[in-house]
């Protein structure tokens, strides 16, 4: 993979062209008034461990701030410790739990709710 990473805002109209580029991950944010929600962030397993998740998260939070987001919330499975460490490294703090929120093998799993304040960089 080329070490040059680029980010672009995409629309449905250019999705096919974007998917022809080497895909390593994506993220989705939603901003309503001044509250951002990180809905999804993923990096392909073979591209993990190279700092791309943090770079992607930084870009998403920058965009959320540009869209007037001043605080960001997210949730993740309790078992997703690598994501938890990534979010902590960025500045997210655990603010709550949703008990037995996700289905899991052998039962249910808690959702961890995290938040951070967004600042202009």
Positions marked catalytic: 75, 87
Could you tell me the two tokens for 103?
């289905």
Measured in whole angstroms, the distance separating CA 68 from the mean position of its chain's CA atoms is: 17
Q: 36: which residues sit within 8 A by CB, 6+ positions away?
A: 29, 30, 61, 64, 67, 69, 71, 72, 73, 118
Pick from 37, 27, 109, 111: nearest CA to 67? 37
């Amino acid at each position: 993979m080329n070490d040059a990473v680029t980010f672009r805002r995409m629309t449905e109209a250019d999705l096919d062209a974007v998917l022809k580029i080497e895909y390593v991950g994506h993220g989705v944010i939603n901003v309503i008034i001044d509250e951002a929600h990180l809905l999804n962030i993923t990096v392909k397993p073979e591209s993990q461990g190279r700092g791309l998740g943090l770079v992607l998260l930084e870009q998403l939070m920058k965009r959320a701030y540009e869209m007037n987001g001043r605080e960001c919330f997210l949730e993740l499975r309790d078992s997703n410790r690598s994501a938890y460490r990534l979010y902590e490294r960025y500045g997210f703090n655990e603010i709550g739990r949703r008990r037995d929120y996700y289905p899991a093998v052998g039962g249910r799993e808690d959702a961890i709710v995290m938040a951070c304040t967004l600042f202009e960089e």
